[in-house]
Structure 1
Amino acid sequence: MIRLLIVDDSPLMRRLLGSIFEAEGDFVVGMARDGAEAIELLPTFAPDVVTLDINMPRMDGLTCLDRIMIERPCPVVMFSSMTDEGAAETMEALHLGAVDFIPKPEGAVSLAIDTLAPRLVEKVRAAAAARLKPSLRLRDRVRARTGLARWTPPREAPSPVPPRPVPRAVPGGKTAEGLVLVGTSTGGPQALDALLTTLPPDFSWPILVAQHMPASFTGALARRLDTICALPVTEVLAPTQIQSGHIYIARGDADMIVRRQGRGLIAAAAPSDPGHRWHPSVDRLVRSALAAVPADRLVGVLMTGMGNDGAAAMTALRAQGGRTLAEAEESAVVWGMPGELVRAGGADIVAPLDMLGKHLVDTVRSR
């Protein structure tokens, strides 16, 4: 049985969510009206996973999440508003240690929740099985246990990195033509932080990222990454010329595709293809790149996420002469997508997250 603690200040939302999970038959459901009550229940209820609203009285969701990660770490799925403010708070929650999030329905909640239910159950099941790193917030836990100053969650974006240099050019004056294609899902924002911040400012190949996420949140993800990466990061909202040394984030609820235009390459947001289950689709991104760029000029990176999106396309990429990297099971929050790539024999390199950046740099420099 999965012990689920639902934390929400709305009696209606608690009742609706409770009925969804109790109907599954393998959940033991506990309820808390706010963050303070949730913290009180942690020792006695001992949840395997928590769903956590952000805006609550007495103790808000971010403060509660911070306390959970320090006092009794367990997987947390945020229940987030789709406003701009809600998106920024969600990115902060993921940075603080939340495994995943699901957008809170708007309008008639009792009607919308039925549509949301299958995906909500899927995400909570995946989160319950997620692997939290033993080092997660370790310094803060030690400080709390030794009576040092209490940690408070950051409320401001990190300081921007120094000005970025002009992207490196290959001999002959031509910018290196090659693409790095990155796919992530559950646990992806933290994995993207870890991978992309290790890349040097002279990393020459453009990087295209498909992170499963709604449109309301991918802009906030891109803005956060842009403040912490040495390479500029933008969300692809319209046809955009792909430039060396740039990172492009696919718009949520759509698919990012690559096409050739003259001698250059364009990244564009295309309506989501119903033939693919998850969006932005990693499979569609990779296959579009294969149609526009020689396979030996492509590198695929598949990291944490439930499901199998990207595994088939990256296996094909490798078979045609491209290179592929998969996150190792030991570091993945959910070893679904990269695990499928490994099992299909489609991974050239399997490495833990803290080594993927080095392998990526070495792979691109060798091409």
Structure 2
Amino acid sequence: MPGERIRLLVVDDSALMRKHLRQIFEAEGDIDLAFARNGREALEQAETFHPDVITLDVNMPELDGLSCLERLVASGCKARVVMVSSLTEAGAEVTLRALELGAVDFVPKPDGTVSLSIDRISGLLASKVRAAACARPRRVLGLRDRIRAQRHEVERRSMAGATGMAAMRAGISGLVLVGVSTGGPRTLEEILPELPATFPWPVVVAQHMPTSFTGVFARRMDSICALDVAEVDGALPLLPGRIYIGRGDADVVVQRRLNRLIVASVLPDDSLWHPSADRLVTSALEVMPAALLIGVLLTGMGNDGATAMTDLRRRGGHTVAEAESSAVVFGMPADLIRQGGAELVLPADAVARQLIAWSHQSR
């Protein structure tokens, strides 16, 4: 909603947090504010204030953030929800569940001295609220999706051993590089479980996330994907038919060591977002021919990955940009399209089929 005022409901049980958040958002100049101290007050405010965006604390008395979100979704509330979550494993589990329920994004809850911590993330808070105001919420996963996930899990457990050995003998015939940010967990849950256990290429994912979230997310994806999924913490051999999730707050790169391809977690560069999709793609181009690479740029604000994937396309590799019709935030894929680097523009539910088709062509 460029040029329009944003109606923001801030839900937090801490009076000090509400005070600091009021100062941050009032300084923006185009945000109308309302406040709630817990989930029950938030439900009442949602009916009367009609917010465009809700920032929702996870831990609150009377009605916690997750329970509040479930009721907001059930009531048909159209507001985009940004969760405010602690950077702990438990916080990550709750946040990923909230994203599955329909929240569009999350921000880290300040720890330590609130006044100092909130200043460090004030710019991030404002930018995420603005992105959420324009975001396209994804549908909540239903029964059909859960049955499909269970089917893939059975397939993975029955076939992974034999498939993995055959793939290791066959070697790497291609590599998929995925860049994704806001809205990514839900989008990846729609794409990666559709890759069969026989998919022959490795998939490396640069999902913008904090360190405490990516391990939890990798385990969650491993439970619903036919392929094995692992967080990249250190260096791992790049093996066919596996999915690698870059560790949060670091960068993930492809390297060649002792004539073997590996995927490694390295110190972040000076980019704004991490793991950096641009750095991932650039590193792969340094050690593999572009013709063996596929770049996939999915939902997210900003432009991370667009420049490197445009270079990949110009060198002869394949690229896919997520279509605006399915992207929660059409920033990163839009920039790839604008630069002329998108070979195909596809909705999220068509991406896996295209990856499978390209892998068959390579054979």
> What's the TM-score, normalizing by structure 2?
0.92
Q: Aligned partners of 2:111 and 2:46: how far apart in 1? A: 29
CA distance in 2, matches of 1:288, 1:202: 26
**Post-superposition shift, 1:137?**
3.4
In structure 1, what is the equivalent of residue 105 of structure 2?
Answer: 100
* Alpha-carbon separation, structure 1, partners of 2:236 and 2:168: 25
Conserved 8 A contact 2:172-2:239: no
1:131 aligned to which of 119, 128, 136: 136
Moved more, 357-366 or 96-105: 357-366
Give the match for residue 201 of structure 1: 197
User: Is contact 1:159-1:227 (8 Å) kept?
Assistant: no
What SS does the aligned partner of 2:172 have? Answer: coil
Q: Indicate which of 254, 264, 271 corresponds to 2:260.
A: 264
The answer on whether the counterparts of 1:168 and 1:175 sit within 8 Å (CA) in structure 2 is no
Return the offset for 1:41: 1.2
* Partner residue, 1:309: 304
Mapped contact 1:169–1:175 kept (Cα < 8 A): no
* Amino acid across the alignment from 1:58: E
Match of 2:224 in 1: 228
Mapping of residues 322-361 of structure 1, within 5 Å = 322-361=317-356
Contact persistence 1:299–1:364 (CA under 8 A): no
The alignment partner of 1:299 has SS state of strand
Alignment match of 2:22 (pick from 11, 18, 36): 18
| Partner secondary structure for residue 61 of structure 2 | coil
Contact 2:168 2:240 survives alignment (8 Å): no
Contact 2:57 2:84 in 1 (8 A): yes
Over 6 Å off, 4+ runs: 157-160, 168-172
Q: In 2, distance between residues paired with 1:74 and 1:129?
A: 11
Structure-2 separation of matches of 1:24 and 1:287: 36
Say which structure is richer in helix: 2
**Which residue number in structure 2 is paired with residue 74 of structure 1?**
79
Distance 1:191-1:322 versus aligned 2 partners, 3 A rule: same
What's the CA shift string for 1:152-186, capped at 9, x where partnerless?
A: xx9xx989812042337889952233210001000
Query: SS at the partner of 1:332?
Result: coil
Match of 1:86 in 2: 91
Where does structure 1 lack aligned partners over 5 or more consecutive residues? 141-153
1:364 and 2:359 aligned: yes
Alpha-carbon distance in 1 for matches of 2:117, 2:256: 40
Distance 1:19 1:158 in 2: 46
Counterpart in the other structure of 1:146? none
1:208 match: secondary structure: strand
Match of 2:153 among 146, 161, 165: 161
State the AA in 1 paired with 2:14.
S
With over 3 angstroms needed to count, the CA separation of the structure-2 counterparts of 1:197 and 1:363, relative to structure 1, is same
* Aligned with 1:191 (options 187, 190, 215): 187
Shift in CA distance, 170/342, structure 1 to aligned 2, threshold 3 Å? farther
Query: Contact (CA 8 Å) 1:210, 1:249: kept in 2 or not?
Result: yes
**Pair 1:116 & 2:146 matched:** no
Q: 1:334 to 1:171 in 2, by over 3 A?
A: closer
Equivalent residue for 2:275? Answer: 280
| Letter matched to residue 226 of structure 2 | A
2:36 to 13, 32, 35: 32
Take 2:228 and 2:72, find their aligned partners in 1: how far apart are those partners? 33
Does residue 219 of structure 1 match 2:210? no
Amino acid in the other structure paired with 2:322: E
One-letter code aligned to 2:248: G
- Residues 315 and 341, structure 1, Cα contact 8 Å, conserved in 2: yes
Structure 1 residues 14, 247: CA separation in 2 closer, same or farther (over 3 Å shift)? same
Percentage of matched positions with identical amino acids: 53
Name the residue aligned to 2:63: 59
Say if 1:305 and 1:336, in contact at 8 Å, map to a contact too.
yes
Tell me which amino acid in the other structure corresponds to 1:161: E
Deviation readout 1:199-250 (Å, 9 max, x if unpaired): 1110010000000111111111111101111111100011111111110000
| Contact 1:201–1:245, Cα closer than 8 Å, also in 2 | yes
Partner Cα distance (1:5, 1:40) in 2:
11
- Counterpart amino acid of residue 353 in structure 1: A
Letter in 2 for 1:38: A
Give CA-to-partner distance per residue, 1:10-29, whole Å, 9 cap, x none: 11111111110011100001
